[in-house]
């Protein structure tokens, strides 16, 4: 997630989350930070091995419907 702040620009940043949806540990973040400061030229994937993004039509509407469905399920209101 990219965070933005009403504070000065240096307070903005990128927050990384694990597959469980929780923020990474300080130790994991330190490893990533050290990798970002290192020479990664030989460790980067070639372009043909990188995933592609695609536009999701009606993403906002799909998100709302999913949130409503999950909320009903959490409240036991399956309908």
Question: Can you give the pTM of this predicted structure?
Answer: 0.42
> pLDDT for 6-36, tens place per residue?
777 777 777 788 888 888 899 998 998 898 8
Q: What is the rounded distance in angstroms from the CA atom of residue 35 to the CA atom of residue 68?
A: 40
What pLDDT does residue 35 have?
A: 87
63-76 burial, b for 16+ CB within 10 Å, e for fewer?
eeeeeeeeeeeeee
Please identify every residue annotated as catalytic: 5
> pLDDT for 31-79, tens place per residue?
988 988 888 888 888 888 888 888 889 999 999 999 998 888 878 776 5
Element containing residue 29 per DSSP (H, E): helix 26-37
Q: What is the rounded distance in angstroms from the CA atom of residue 68 to the CA atom of residue 77?
A: 10
């Amino acid at each position: 997630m990219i965070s933005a702040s009403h504070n000065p620009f240096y307070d903005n940043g990128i927050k990384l989350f694990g597959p469980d949806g929780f923020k990474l540990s300080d130790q994991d973040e330190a490893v990533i930070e050290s990798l970002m400061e290192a020479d990664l030229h030989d460790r980067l994937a070639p372009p043909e091995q990188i995933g592609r993004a695609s536009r999701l039509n009606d993403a906002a509407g799909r998100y709302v419907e999913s949130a409503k469905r999950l909320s009903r399920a959490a409240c036991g209101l399956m309908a």
